[in-house]
Amino acid sequence: MPEMSFFQEVLANLDEANKHLNLLPAVYERLRNPRRALIVSLPVKMDDGRVEFFKGYRVQYDFARGPGKGGVRYHPKVSLDEVTALAALMNWKCAVVDIPFGGAKGGVECDPTRMSKSELERLTRRYTYEIGLLIGPESDIPAPDVYTDEQTMAWMMDTYSMMKGYAVPGVVTGKPVSIGGSLGRNKATSAGLVTVVVEALKHLDMGLDDLRVTVLGFGKVGYHAARILHEMGAKVIGVADSKGAIYNPRGLDIDAVHRHKTETGALKGFKPAEDMTVDDLLGIESDVLVPAALEGQIHRANVERIRTRVIAEGANNPITNEADRVLMDKNVFILPGVLANAGGVVVSYFEWVQDLQRFFWNEAEINQRLTAIIKKAFGEVLNISLEKKMDMRTAATVLGVQRVAEAIMIRGLYP
């Protein structure tokens, strides 16, 4: 039987949560369908003078709890199904950590690794203009995601501001600090993930000293998570990127690995470490595995290789539903992405609030507030998991969906 599409898997998790919630049929159907989806055609003049057309998307899943919130990714495999699934996950994620946002997501089907900076700027500005009728600080606030960054958000903010005729820093988050970005935002997802891991280790009566960690994906989330865990005393024994993996049972110097990747463009060849495939790294015994790249990293073909105690999802849905069941049978403690990688959207919320107030906090305040919110969310999800005897993914989905459903019911159906 073929594996389900990404959005079908998200809906399957929603179905599982609803077995415990028994939502009214109208509310349940509302949650199974995005509020709106926009598909745009993006003509972009390339550096060689030709015009190339790209397809872009922005999906707004639900606004019951507040304006839409969600990143924008540039990737060759971006599709409406993927963006819709990610928007739904953002909806639950914002509710799990109890911040006043709904779910949204955007993306452009392109290969940014083959595009120049000027081409990416023209693509970004065209995309922003085309979705400009949907986004805004009170309606839908984009942020960085896969292959987008602070510079991308600066171009988006500037384009939207030109459309309005005045500076609108609150239209996006994840911007450079110099134009209204927040301190601590660049590593917020990783900091939140580490907080969740530490809380899980306490629950499982495990410690950080000599904890063996492997990380799949060495971008913004994977690198900072590995670095923070390394600094806290854990032993990061393996990391992987899209081109391969490296392994050292004695532990890796994460900053040295990062320098090597920056200089060479890949992890392979780093010494002292052994080069191997990503699937081979999955077969290495560890205490914590952090999948931090794209969805579906762990699937039916490689899940049997995994030997770990805890999985903390730095990416959104990196484990297929089929693989999820296998891991639960192995008694792997899974920290779902709607909880484990929610630190980014929490600090995005802080950035948005600071932009609206034109009053900014120091990094210590941001980190303190972030830690408090993530710890509270972890405790709430864990309590549901223990009380209802369900896995953490279902517990987190139950919590998020319940909060969104409550907002929908209180607001009522219009007209």
Q: Which residue, 132, 167, 202, sits at the end of a domain?
A: 167
Residue 211 belongs to a domain: yes
Q: How much is the pLDDT for 209?
A: 87
User: Which domain does 83 fall in, by range?
Assistant: 32-167
CB of 246 closer than 8 Å to CB of 276 = yes
For residues 163 and 193, state if they share a domain. Answer: no
What pLDDT, on the 0 to 100 scale, is given for residue 294? 80
Q: Identify any residues that bridge with 306 across adjacent strands, giving them in sequence order.
A: none
The answer to whether 105 is a known catalytic residue is yes
d(CA 94, CA 358): 23
Q: Give the per-residue pLDDT at 1.
A: 52
Show pLDDT as tens, one digit a residue, over the chain (415 residues): 556 899 999 999 999 999 999 999 999 999 999 999 999 999 999 999 999 999 999 999 999 999 999 999 999 999 999 999 999 999 999 999 999 999 999 999 999 999 999 999 999 999 999 999 999 999 999 999 999 999 999 999 999 999 999 999 999 999 999 999 999 998 999 999 999 999 999 999 998 888 999 999 999 899 999 999 999 999 999 999 988 999 999 999 999 999 999 999 999 999 999 999 999 999 999 999 999 988 888 999 999 999 999 999 999 989 999 999 999 999 999 999 999 999 999 999 999 999 999 999 999 999 999 999 999 999 999 999 999 999 999 999 999 999 999 999 999 988 8
Claim to verify: residue 138 and residue 203 sit in the same structural domain:
no
Residue 353 domain flag: no
126 domain residue, yes or no: yes
327 and 218, same structural domain?
Answer: yes
Q: Are residues 319 and 213 in the same domain?
A: yes
pLDDT at 413: 87
In a domain? residue 181: no
Question: Which CATH number do you get for residue 279?
Answer: 3.40.50.720
Residue 341 inside a domain? The answer is: no
Which one, of 3, 11, 13, 6, lies nearest residue 334 by Cα?
Answer: 13
Q: Are residues 52 and 160 in the same domain?
A: yes
Are 163 and 281 members of one domain?
Answer: no
13 in any annotated domain: no
Token pair for residue 62? Answer: 């639900």
Within a domain: 46: yes
Residues 152 and 192 in one domain: no
User: Which residues make beta-bridge pairs with 279?
Assistant: none
Q: Are residues 266 and 205 in the same domain?
A: yes
Q: Could you tell me the CATH number of the domain that includes residue 59?
A: 3.40.50.10860
Provide DSSP, 178-195.
Answer: GGTPPTT-TTHHHHHHHH
Task: Say whether the peptide bond before residue 2 is cis (omega within 30 degrees of 0).
Answer: no
Q: What total number of domains does the chain contain?
A: 2
List the catalytic residue out of 93, 105, 175, 187. Answer: 105
Whether 243 and 211 share a structural domain: yes
DSSP codes of every residue in 132-171: TTT-BTTTEEEEE-TT--HHHHHHHHHHHHHHHTS--GGG
> Which is it for strands 51-62 and 36-45: parallel, antiparallel or unpaired?
antiparallel
Residue where a domain stops, chosen among 331, 347, 381: 331
| In a domain? residue 309 | yes
Last residue of a domain, one of 271, 303, 331: 331
Residues 156 and 217 in one domain: no
Please give the pLDDT value at position 296.
Answer: 87
Q: Is the pTM of this model over 0.85?
A: yes
Q: Could you tell me if 162 and 193 lie in one domain?
A: no
For residue 169, whether the previous peptide bond is cis, meaning omega lies within 30 degrees of 0, is no
Same-domain status, 202 and 311: yes
